[in-house]
Amino acid sequence: MSRDKNGHVLVWEQSDLDDAAAAEQQVNNHKNTADRSRGWFGIRHLICIMLFSGMANAYIMRTNMSVAIVAMVNHTAIELMDQEGGHEEPINECPYNEPDNVTQVAHDGPYEWSFTYQGYLLSAFFYGYVLTQIPFGILAKRYGAKTYLAYGMLINSVFGLLVPASADVGYWALIVVRFIQGLGEGPIVPCTHAMLAKWAPPDERSVLGAIVYAGAQFGTVVSMPLSGLLSEHGFAGGWPSIFYVFGTIGTIWCFAFLLLVHEDPEVHPTIPEEEKKYIMSSLYGTHGTQSPPVPWREIFTSMPFWSIMVAHMGHNYGYETLMTELPTYMKQVLKFDIKHNGAISALPYLAMWIFSVLIAYVADWMIQRKIFGITATRKIVNSIGQFGPAVCLTAASYTGCNPTLTIVLLTLGVGLNGGIYSGFKVNHLDISPRYAGVLMSFTNCTANMAGLLAPITAGYLISGTPSQAKWRSVFLVSACIYVICGTFYICFGSGVRQPWDDPENDANVMERIKKQEEQQEREDLAKKVQKTEKKRIRQEAKEARIARNEARKERRQSASKVIPVTIESLEISDTSPKMMTTSFHVIDETRPSS
């Protein structure tokens, strides 16, 4: 404020103070709105619950086959075939753990599939799974994730109901059904990540992300013991009821998801305005929800992106090894019968579920209190999640016939693996919130290609007569992969939003894209003009050729002459000579023609 020469107050000079006060008031209002909208339960939490239950359903459909196959396969016949094929006679390395013979015979199923064939069957799901990851990650970025997620789960669930019938048809029919189930499940993870990017504020990202992805462990925890009980006491002959029950549950979930969930806060009809403003401002600020096209070159030259991919590959290999092979290990080595098999196999995933949620709160607490930055926090918890299982798997491979110690180590190792959900698993959202679904589609696809090798590798390693030494090789391979990939993430991982996803650069990016489009339009126009000119030249040449041909024809006709010729001939007869005149025309062709 100042005064002029007459002492009057120049009120207009207070505008800077007014603007500053208004800005401060706006910040305070935003903080108050954020505090009020961080209530213990909101629409974003409902979305996360639905995504959590969807992830649980997805993993139930993946893991139920690993339990059911124990009841489906005739283990006695396989052992006899191995003996007849020249394999060594099976050695009972843990005789004190073996159940009575009656129970063992009762658990033999109707299908004589070797360990190698079982490995291919368990992998068939993942062959379909990897094919739809990237296409639907890109489609979800362009058209939205909700519909693809729901209908993918519907395909997965419906074909799950067809598993028993396809098994009766034959081995290859079952392979096809499991492959189609994998195709349906492919969109689920990238679409879930895309929806998390739209609903999870940055300072709640670790917790909400860990809760959603903890659905994978929850589904495994529910699937394994319940599948074991159903295979033992279920309807339709036992193991078929596994697929009927979970297929029906998954189908019901799809319709509930379509009814209750909306794509983002902007289109949700009942979200409180305060919560909507809180989510939108924390995610997008003043830049809006629009984003430039996907910067493919920048993504594929980004080391933080590659560090996530490598860590994801290492996790999937180890996780899929345990998830698909642990029930078989329980039966072959530790001699658990099937009704206990599912329950014991679920213990490691129960630990992982609990630990993943607890470590997520710790991670967000460290970030909010600024004890560590986002980058350091992600690397710390991810190291717990990958080095911990490596150590425990190595130790578990040397426990011999001590089932209690083996189960404790496996449970601890897989439980510590839950750290990855606050590590690389949510790191896509850190480095690129707007393209998180696209990034997840690529890393998850590649990781599951690595996961494809896990059951096949295990099948070959334990082919023939199973033994502790063969299973030790399975565990040690997984441990080494965990260590290598976890170390790569430490070296190159980052929690900083990358420049190619910075809204501040959107204007420059859009301007560059506009210039590229204008340049492309000019090039297209030049090509069009050139094409038109070539067409005109060809037409003129054609017309000139026709004209020359016509002229040549006219000259030929004009050059031709009709010459009257009269020949007098003498006709001689017996009586008297008579002159006869014959007239005819001869065309003069002696003149040259053009």
Let me know if residue 372 belongs to a domain.
Answer: yes
Q: What is the mean pLDDT of residues 149-155?
A: 93
247 within 8 A of 158, measured Cβ to Cβ? yes
Residues 356 and 401 in one domain: yes
Please tell me the predicted confidence (pLDDT) of residue 89: 53
Please tell me the predicted confidence (pLDDT) of residue 342: 58
Residues 6+ apart with CB under 8 A from 22: none
pLDDT at 71 over 50: yes
Q: What is the mean pLDDT of residues 526-545?
A: 87
Taken in order 53, 384, 487, 408, the sign of the CA dihedral is negative
| pLDDT > 90 fraction of the chain, expressed in percent and rounded | 22
Let me know if residue 339 belongs to a domain.
Answer: yes
Q: Distance between the two ends of the chain, CA-based, in angstroms?
A: 103
pLDDT at 8 over 70: no
Let me know if residue 96 belongs to a domain.
Answer: no
Residues 463 and 378 in one domain: yes
Q: What are 173-218's pLDDT values in tens digits?
A: 999 999 999 999 989 988 998 888 888 887 787 788 888 888 888 8
Closest CA to 150 of 180, 200, 194, 192: 192
Residues 80 and 229 in one domain: yes
Q: What is the mean pLDDT of residues 83-88?
A: 54
465 within 8 A of 400, measured Cβ to Cβ? no
79 within 8 A of 108, measured Cβ to Cβ? no
Residues 478 and 526 in one domain: no
Please tell me the predicted confidence (pLDDT) of residue 10: 35
Lowest-pLDDT range of 50-54, 155-159, 432-436, 569-573: 569-573
Residues 81 and 211 in one domain: yes
SS3 271: coil
Let me know if residue 507 belongs to a domain.
Answer: yes
Residues in the chain: 594
pLDDT at 313 over 50: yes
pLDDT band per the 50, 70, 90 thresholds, residue 106: very low
Greatest mean pLDDT among 103-112, 172-181, 398-407, 431-440: 172-181
Please tell me the predicted confidence (pLDDT) of residue 92: 66
CA distances from 486 to 307, 358, 389, 424 (A): 9, 21, 11, 10
Q: What is the mean pLDDT of residues 5-32?
A: 44
Lowest-pLDDT range of 331-345, 469-483, 486-500: 331-345
Please tell me the predicted confidence (pLDDT) of residue 53: 92
Closest CA to 314 of 460, 493, 124, 469: 493
206 phi-psi bin (left φ>0, alpha ψ -120 to 50, beta other): alpha
Residues 187 and 235 in one domain: yes
Please tell me the predicted confidence (pLDDT) of residue 472: 85
Greatest mean pLDDT among 141-145, 250-254, 278-282: 250-254
Residues 226 and 325 in one domain: no
Q: Has this prediction a pTM greater than 0.85? A: no
pLDDT at 222 over 60: yes
Which of the listed residues 231, 256, 282 is the one where a domain comes to its end?
282
Residue 208: count other Cβ atoms within 10 Å of its Cβ: 23
pLDDT band per the 50, 70, 90 thresholds, residue 22: very low
Please tell me the predicted confidence (pLDDT) of residue 491: 95
SS3 content of the chain, % helix, strand, coil (to 5): 75, 5, 20
Q: What is the mean pLDDT of residues 509-522?
A: 75
Write the DSSP assignment of 448-511 as a string of letters. Answer: HHHHHHHHHHHHHHT-SS--HHHHHHHHHHHHHHHHHHHHHHHHH---SPPGGG-GGGHHHHHH
pLDDT band per the 50, 70, 90 thresholds, residue 403: confident
Lowest-pLDDT range of 266-280, 489-503, 580-594: 580-594
Let me know if residue 36 belongs to a domain.
Answer: no
Which of the listed residues 498, 533, 555 is the one where a domain comes to its end?
498
Residues 493 and 508 in one domain: no
Distance, in Å, from the CA atom of 408 to the CA atom of 351, rounded to the nearest integer, reads 10
Q: What is the mean pLDDT of residues 321-347?
A: 66
β-strand partners of 588: 561
| CATH number of the CATH domain containing 65 | 1.20.1250.20
Let me know if residue 514 belongs to a domain.
Answer: yes
pLDDT at 20 over 50: no
327 within 8 A of 345, measured Cβ to Cβ? yes
395 or 568: whose pLDDT is higher? 395
pLDDT band per the 50, 70, 90 thresholds, residue 337: low
Q: What are 464-491's pLDDT values in tens digits?
A: 777 778 888 888 999 999 999 999 999 9
Domain containing residue 352: 295-498
Distance, in Å, from the CA atom of 68 to the CA atom of 246, rounded to the nearest integer, reads 12
pLDDT band per the 50, 70, 90 thresholds, residue 341: low
Q: How many domains does the chain have?
A: 3
Half-sphere exposure of 255 (CA within 13 A, CB side): 5
Distance, in Å, from the CA atom of 11 to the CA atom of 4, rounded to the nearest integer, reads 11
For helices 436-461 and 188-199, the axis angle rounded to 10 degrees is 140
Q: What are the phi and psi torsion angles at 563 (to 5°)?
A: -105, 115
pLDDT at 282 over 60: yes
Which of the listed residues 510, 529, 544 is the one where a domain comes to its end?
544
Q: What is the mean pLDDT of residues 159-168?
A: 92
For helices 188-199 and 273-284, the axis angle rounded to 10 degrees is 100
Let me know if residue 357 belongs to a domain.
Answer: yes
CA distances from 313 to 123, 125, 127, 317, 403 (A): 16, 17, 15, 6, 29
Residues 256 and 402 in one domain: no
Please tell me the predicted confidence (pLDDT) of residue 73: 81
Please tell me the predicted confidence (pLDDT) of residue 566: 53
pLDDT at 326 over 70: no
Write the DSSP assignment of 306-347 as a string of letters. Answer: HHHHHHHHHHHHHHHHHHHHHHHHHHHTS---HHHHHHHHHH
Please tell me the predicted confidence (pLDDT) of residue 173: 92
pLDDT at 437 over 50: yes
Distance, in Å, from the CA atom of 53 to the CA atom of 409, rounded to the nearest integer, reads 28
Residues 317 and 264 in one domain: no
pLDDT at 101 over 70: no
Residues 300 and 315 in one domain: yes
Residues 6+ apart with CB under 8 A from 114: 78, 81, 82, 463
pLDDT band per the 50, 70, 90 thresholds, residue 274: confident
Half-sphere exposure of 362 (CA within 13 A, CB side): 17
Let me know if residue 397 belongs to a domain.
Answer: yes
Distance, in Å, from the CA atom of 326 to the CA atom of 332, rounded to the nearest integer, reads 10
Distance, in Å, from the CA atom of 58 to the CA atom of 54, rounded to the nearest integer, reads 6
Residues 250 and 184 in one domain: yes
Q: What is the mean pLDDT of residues 522-542?
A: 86
Please tell me the predicted confidence (pLDDT) of residue 1: 43
